[in-house]
């Protein structure tokens, strides 16, 4: 299935999400760059992040809320991969994981595990 974006950074208004978005904005430009967007609960805050990190004005913004499963599914339908920094993952992750599974979307978070 063709998606709008290669990846979406969900939680881009938080500290870590912003760092990821800033890295993408400065490292991947031009025709061969992945297509991507930033997502979060507040469009106003996403607009500020986009401006603050020097991303192009046309970098897409996606409104999604961990408390609104329909918005998570809609976001997942648009991307091949979701990179999430919205935690704690035990609290805010299950609905997103379910939306990723239902839509065949890749899921990446920052959670590490020790053996």
Sorted by where each starts, the structural domains of the chain and their CATH numbers stand as 5-108 (3.40.50.720)
| Pick from 37, 101, 86: nearest CA to 63 | 37
Per-residue pLDDT tens digits for 4-17: 999 999 999 999 99
Per-residue pLDDT tens digits for 43-76: 999 999 999 999 999 999 999 999 999 999 999 9
This model's pTM is above 0.85: yes
Task: For residue 86, give Cα distances in angstroms to 1, 23, 24, 77, 110.
Answer: 26, 18, 18, 18, 9
| Pick from 44, 45, 87, 43: nearest CA to 66 | 87
| Pick from 101, 90, 99, 91: nearest CA to 39 | 99
């Amino acid at each position: 299935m063709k998606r709008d974006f290669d990846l979406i950074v969900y939680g881009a208004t938080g500290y870590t999400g912003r760092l990821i978005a800033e890295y993408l904005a400065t490292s991947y430009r031009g025709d061969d760059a992945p297509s991507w967007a930033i997502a979060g609960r507040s469009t106003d805050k996403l607009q500020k992040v986009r401006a603050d990190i020097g991303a192009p004005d046309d970098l897409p913004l996606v409104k999604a809320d961990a408390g609104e499963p329909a918005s998570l599914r809609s976001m997942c339908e648009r991307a091949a991969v979701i990179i999430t920094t919205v935690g704690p993952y035990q609290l805010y992750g299950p609905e997103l994981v379910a939306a990723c599974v239902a839509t065949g979307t890749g899921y990446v978070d920052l959670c590490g595990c020790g053996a």
